[in-house]
Amino acid sequence: MAEPRYRLGVDVGGTHTDLVLNEVSTGRLRIEKLPSSPANPSLAVLEGMGRLLSGGVAADEIGFFAHGTTVTTNALLEGKGAKVGLLINAGYRGICEVQTQARDEGNPFDHLFRRAPHIAPPSLTREIPGRIDYAGAELEPLDADAVRRAAAGLAAEGVASFAVCFLFSFMNDAHERAAAALIRDAVPGACVSLSSEVLPRIREWPRFSTTLVNAALVPVLARYIADLAAGLDDRAVTTRSRFLMQSNGGVMPLAANCESQTVHTLLSGPAGGVQGAAWLLGRRAGGRNIVTLDMGGTSCDIAFVQDGQPLEHAETLIAGRIVGVPALDVSTISAGGGSLARVSAAGLPVVGPDSAGADPGPACYGKGGALPAVTDADLVCGVLNPAYFLGGRMALDAAAARSAVQTHVAAPLGMAVEAAAAGICRVVNALMADEIRVQSARKGIDLAGFTLVPFGGAGPVHAAAVARDLGIPRVLVPASPGAFSALGLLCADVVHDYVRSELRALAGLPPARMEEVFAALEDRARAELAAEGLGAAETALLREADLRYAGQGYELRVPLDGIPCPLSDDGLAALEARFHQRHAQVHGHAAGDAAVEVVSYRLRAVVPMPKLADGGRAEAAAGAAAPYAKRRAVMADGAAVECDVWRRDALPLDRSLPGPLIVEQPDATTVAPPGWTARLLEDGNLELTDGAGR
Amino acid sequence: MDTGQGATVDPITVQILRNRIGSLMDEMHHHFFRSGYSTIVRESRDFSCVILDARGRLLVTPPMFFHATAYRYLVARVLELYGAEGLADGDVFICNHPYEGQMPHVPDMGVVMPVFDGDALVAFAGSIAHKADIGGTVPGSTWGQAQEIFQEGIVFPPVRLYRAGTYCRDIERTIRANSRHAETTLGDLRGQVAACGIGRDRLRQICGEYGADRLKAALTAMVEAAGAEFRAALRRLPDGEGEAEAFLDSDGIDYTKPVRLHVQVTVRDGRVSFDFTGCADQGRGPVNIREALVEVCCFQVLIGLIDPNLPYSDAARDAVEIVLREGSVVHPRAPAPCSSYMKTCMTVIDMLFEAMAPIVPGRAAAFSGGSGGGLTVDWHDGPRKVTNNQYEIYGSAYGGSAAGDGCSGTTVHLSNIYVTPIEIVETEFPCRVTRFELIPGSGGDGKHRGGLAMRREYALLQPAMVVFRGDRATQPSRGVAGGGPGRPSRFVVNPGRPDEREMPITTRVELDAGTTMLIEAAGGGGYGDPGERTAAARAADLREGYVAKG
């Protein structure tokens, strides 16, 4: 494809919609930030584009459009999905009532526990005779009449989106496919989500739950895509290279099949930034291992990039619902700029989970918030500049911040106000460090050699302190921390994930059988990519197997890369050896003599896309490279120090500046405490190095 | 913050370390869960991992609460037997003894690892996990008709699995010789030791950062702080008294005789007293529970009624008095069997909610469906070779409450356990699940209806020995404040066939290939006068099939 003049990334977040326009030849970035339009998110997107276009960008010179949206996430959280009808095996309705039988996200002490409302309540569920057994053999034929009656009856109830969830459909999808055809005959234009297409994986409830979530969101996403595509057409954006960010850090074409793909967009919000970090910072020599710290207003998202690849997990809980498609493994904790501090009945300082949000926001916003938030503590510590928040577009009320910290934390603890503010920072920093520690241990990661990459408005303020707590000596602050998720959209490939379960002992499994299962997944991948107009030539097909010791209930994903195809006995032996090794790495022990089972086969199809070369390009400061002020600030350890205060665009290129110093830019503030040095790199990233690094 | 131990530590550091200990326990929990070998660990999550201070006190609420109160007895017994000076770095103790260390029942194996910094004992890492089989009369070790703990498996008082870092293969050999599923049992035990090792390593790291003295002072401070918070919450309760009684179906030996439980609750000036001396004499069968479990029931109810987010630490015990009569079902003498502890705990909790309803009316609730029961299937030879036992735990339902209808088809109270997926059951075992649904009308009527129980039906494709341990078949879940009772539980062999057999709810039976069996849990009780249930709620119940039509 010919190199376009511009590539555009658009990220719709909860409060802001960010647009990043990249001029390919110069690498220059133009950033637009405007308030999101939650009622119809495409409005803010199109308005932002209008601004870019009126600023002299020709619509037909935009050759690539990538979009991150929370439209499906929000619909799920707010219960605004479509009305869904469910077809399930006769006699098995209890699967959707009992679910996991546990209170997954619920407080175990709360006897008033309630589940999230049904996506398809019993009144919209129809039981269909027909049954497949564990080996894929038909025990009882599908009752086609029952399917027709169900489809017509549910359509009469106003159902336009159907979920078809039959037991063992991952072993044999004939009944689900037949049911889909019957439904489409009976209800022209119906959306049909099949559990064997959405997630052909063993364990019925996670599969059914994922399929139900998909069914609820197919019409939502389809409508959104149609609105957006029409809006782009109206503005004469001619490119067909239009993509949506997915939970797995890859993009999918706007033209993808929503019926099987919708559920892959649920966690696209946090994925953009992580993918951006992996591409822009993680692929460089010496920087392939990264922890991302996306600290926004209400929460902090933490993720890992190892050997240049963001880590993923196979199952997530969203709004109390299990979703079983691969997603970047982002863990969220209540530690944002708006997280509120208080003193507990035990006399200890607590930060979060309550948040001041955007409204009223921290006390210093002057919108009526009286309780101290982390941003207030940052302000009292002198780290934030009340006159230069959002580049000066919003004045902060320092007296209100001080009074909030004094009343609610300092006085009850009998501490000075600045010490209390520093204490709040220490507590919230430790929460982030704890989460990174827990997550790294869960994933079997040794943090030595990792770089911390903070973004979001509040990340760069706290990053150095978090890094020191973890013994991480290096922090990289990207050029535009506040619009980094949008930037990440320009760093992604087209990625489609496929899975299929077939539980068998690895010993005695003919390599030809494994080859056959993978080949079937590859055929499906090629067909879908072709339907999306993407060529097969440059597509990479990556195989993985989910393995476990016989009798274990959870699997580890083990890649097959480097194992020759078609698979041989030696290849299977190599796979088994990798599994033992991985088990020891993740769980601290392995059982070399225990039998290993294959549970699922996974395939990832990757079509490479052109990507942003750099995070932006640092340009030599216009005037003399010098700090514009000195300011006294209290660091998280409680020590007051005199800091040089720099504007980021005045930083000298490639020169180490000793901390303590503060770097201000419109969308973020970076702190380098004593013992750290700061250096602006040629690629536009700001590097902080801990001289006291352990 | 002065802890009276010399070293002082500021409240910010205490809070930071408290969060860190909490996340460390999460980390241990997750590690063990992911690496669990047996069905019990992997699907039921019947295990816990904790960090304790040098006196064996629990610091923060663990992810799995129902072992919370047992650890202190376990460490106390280790210290009693070996003395603090007898412990060495690298020691690992195991114990599954209900009367020496208060393990809930014999299949629950406790692991204790002292954590040293240099020569100083700083803390303990611990874990308790249910074992697939530890010997005894029946496969799976839990037997509803046991009459002594000796029938429930091989019993270890606290003994060393590692002595100063050296593995004692004698113990492994003993377990191997006694367990029907030695590989999974030993695999799980390895996982427990590994999880404790993570706890020990992280604590040492913290010692390196803060110093052992400051860490110890912080541990003491965090226990005391949580205790202070708990006492402050109790002081907000109004003074009052309440009383309730409830019955277990039987002790598993004499099926005709219900077992009485009784409590008298008194709240006065922020102190709560629970008097259980009215409970029946200890049962001949395994319905007895040890003190640690009575305590955990009391705290579960107090926390649920006052504020589900209230943190627990072992210092909370100081504000609560629990009076027990030795020789009773809630304070048995050795070697009374205890393997069916869960149903007794569930009924104690439901009874406590009823007793406390007048004192804390806003969060009052009717009886839950209790323990839905546990199924163990030991498959005999046939076309399919099976190495593991099939083990499943069923939930029941919550009772209706002052706030709304009870939740249907869920484990309740102390139990937060995953249903075994049908696709896993049928892939691993020679049986078919032929039905899985909620039972219409099984929730007690009331202003707020009890939750509905579930029903699961199986067809056996190979002969097997089946053990089922349930409750609430003859003593249904009671309604409260005028609500009606929930539907009782059932265990039926060959339902709907001429040879249909209604089985005792706690039973062991040999079944042939071709047999079907039906398990129905008990529904939750209703809350409030059924006359006050709204027409809309009744219409919704009909529309969704939650009550039988007609």
ipTM of the complex: 0.91
Which position has the higher pLDDT, A1 or B308? B308
B210 Cα to chain A: minimum distance (Å): 12
Tokens, residue B466:
């089946």
Classify residue A86: in a domain, yes or no. Answer: yes
| pTM of the entire predicted model | 0.91
Q: Do B422 and A95 touch (CB under 8 A)?
A: yes
- Picking from A184, A202, A221, the residue at the C-terminal end of a domain is A221
Q: Do B15 and A435 touch (CB under 8 A)?
A: no
Tell me the mean pLDDT in the region B178-194. Answer: 91
Length of chain B equals 550
Q: Do B191 and A589 touch (CB under 8 A)?
A: yes
Which residues lie closer than 8 Å to B18 by C-beta, 6 or more apart?
A348, B59, B60, B218, B222, B225
A31 and A131 part of one domain: no
A356 Cα to chain B: minimum distance (Å): 20
Length of chain A equals 694
Per the structure, how many domains does chain A have? 4
- Comparing CB atoms, the residue among A110, A552, A554 nearest residue B308 is A110
Rounded to the nearest angstrom, the gap between the alpha carbon of residue A261 and the centroid of all alpha carbons in its chain is 16
Contacts with A592 from chain B: Cβ below 8 Å: none
A212 and A229 part of one domain: no
**3-state DSSP helix/strand/coil percent for chain A, to nearest 5?**
35, 25, 40
Cα-based angle B172, B177, B181 (whole degrees, multiple of 5):
85
A96 and A198 part of one domain: yes
Q: Does B107 touch chain A (CB under 8 A)?
A: no
A589 and A650 part of one domain: no
Q: Do A92 and B436 touch (CB under 8 A)?
A: yes
Contacts with B39 from chain A: Cβ below 8 Å: 551, 553
Q: Is A366 left (phi over 0), alpha (psi -120 to 50) or beta?
A: left
A198 and A69 part of one domain: no
Query: Each residue of B496-508: pLDDT tens digit?
Result: 999 999 999 988 9
Q: Do B398 and A111 touch (CB under 8 A)?
A: yes
Closest residue in A to B17 (Cα–Cα): A430
Answer whether residue A551 shows pLDDT above 70: yes
Tell me the mean pLDDT in the region B285-302. Answer: 97
Helix axes A417-442, A398-405, angle to 10 degrees: 80
Q: Does B287 touch chain A (CB under 8 A)?
A: no
Q: Does A694 touch chain B (CB under 8 A)?
A: no
Answer whether residue B512 shows pLDDT above 50: yes
Q: Does B454 touch chain A (CB under 8 A)?
A: yes
Residues 505-524 of B with CB under 8 A from A: none
Q: Parallel, antiparallel, or unpaired for β A161-165 and A138-140? A: unpaired
Q: Does A579 touch chain B (CB under 8 A)?
A: no
Rounded to the nearest angstrom, the gap between the alpha carbon of residue A508 and the centroid of all alpha carbons in its chain is 39
Tokens, residue A84:
């869904």
Instruction: Please name the helix (run of DSSP H) or strand (run of DSSP E) that holds residue A630, with its range, or none.
Output: strand A629-634
Tokens, residue A324:
């079983």
Q: Do B228 and A503 touch (CB under 8 A)?
A: no
**Which CATH number do you get for residue A198?**
3.40.50
Q: Parallel, antiparallel, or unpaired for β A316-318 and A242-245? A: unpaired
A694 pLDDT tier (thresholds 50, 70, 90): very low
Ranges of each domain in chain B: 11-230, 365-550
Instruction: Please name the helix (run of DSSP H) or strand (run of DSSP E) that holds residue A34, with its range, or none.
Output: strand A29-35
Closest residue in B to A502 (Cα–Cα): B427
Query: Each residue of B19-53: pLDDT tens digit?
Result: 999 999 988 988 887 666 665 666 667 899 999 99
Query: Each residue of A37-55: pLDDT tens digit?
Result: 877 888 889 899 888 888 8
Q: Do B419 and A427 touch (CB under 8 A)?
A: no
Query: Each residue of B87-114: pLDDT tens digit?
Result: 999 999 999 999 999 999 999 999 999 9
Classify residue A400: in a domain, yes or no. Answer: no
Tell me the mean pLDDT in the region B321-345. Answer: 96
DSSP lists the bridge partners of residue B410 as B396
With contact defined as beta carbons under 8 Å apart, do B297 and A111 qualify?
A: no
Query: Each residue of B250-271: pLDDT tens digit?
Result: 998 998 999 999 999 999 999 9
Closest residue in B to A135 (Cα–Cα): B427
- How many other CB atoms are there within 10 angstroms of residue B320's CB atom? 17
**What is the rounded CA–CA span in Å between residue B485 and residue B473?**
12
Residue A257: predicted pLDDT: 86
**What is the rounded CA–CA span in Å between residue B288 and residue B339?**
8
- How many other CB atoms are there within 10 angstroms of residue A83's CB atom? 16
Answer whether residue B6 shows pLDDT above 80: no
Q: Do A97 and B407 touch (CB under 8 A)?
A: no
A231 and A217 part of one domain: no
Classify residue A26: in a domain, yes or no. Answer: yes
Helix axes B291-306, B212-235, angle to 10 degrees: 60
A25 and A95 part of one domain: no
**Which CATH number do you get for residue A593?**
3.30.1490
In order of A492, A538, A545, B480, the CA distances from A499 in angstroms are 21, 21, 9, 49
- Comparing CB atoms, the residue among A204, A441, A551 nearest residue B421 is A204
Query: Each residue of A495-533: pLDDT tens digit?
Result: 999 999 999 999 989 999 999 999 999 999 999 898 888
- B332: Cα within 13 Å, side-chain hemisphere: 29
**What is the rounded CA–CA span in Å between residue B453 and residue B438?**
6
Classify residue A574: in a domain, yes or no. Answer: yes
DSSP code, position B16: H
Query: Each residue of A371-388: pLDDT tens digit?
Result: 999 999 999 999 999 999
Q: Tokens 């909860």 sit at which residue?
A: A14
Which residues lie closer than 8 Å to A100 by C-beta, 6 or more apart?
A205, A322, B418, B419
Residues 153-182 of A with CB under 8 A from B: 167-168
Tell me the mean pLDDT in the region B212-221. Answer: 95
Residue B4: predicted pLDDT: 46
**β strands within A473-626, DSSP E:** 474-477, 494-505, 540-549, 556-559, 596-607
A571 and A672 part of one domain: no
Query: Each residue of A109-138: pLDDT tens digit?
Result: 999 999 999 999 999 999 999 999 999 999
Closest residue in A to B414 (Cα–Cα): A108
A262 Cα to chain B: minimum distance (Å): 25
Answer whether residue B228 shows pLDDT above 80: yes
Type of residue numbered B353: F
Contacts with A441 from chain B: Cβ below 8 Å: 27, 31, 198
Q: Do A111 and B353 touch (CB under 8 A)?
A: yes
Tell me the mean pLDDT in the region B164-175. Answer: 96
A192 Cα to chain B: minimum distance (Å): 23
A93 and A62 part of one domain: no
B279 pLDDT tier (thresholds 50, 70, 90): very high
Q: Parallel, antiparallel, or unpaired for β A6-12 and A62-68? A: parallel
With contact defined as beta carbons under 8 Å apart, do B429 and B389 qualify?
A: no
- Comparing CB atoms, the residue among B184, B229, B423 nearest residue A344 is B229
Rounded to the nearest angstrom, the gap between the alpha carbon of residue A424 and the centroid of all alpha carbons in its chain is 27
Q: Parallel, antiparallel, or unpaired for β A290-295 and A451-455? A: parallel
A176 and A122 part of one domain: yes
A516 and A576 part of one domain: yes
A110 and A211 part of one domain: yes
3-class secondary-structure state, position A151: helix
Q: Do A427 and B427 touch (CB under 8 A)?
A: no
Tokens, residue A305:
């990039």
Q: Do B198 and A431 touch (CB under 8 A)?
A: no
Q: Which domain holds residue A528?
A: 494-607
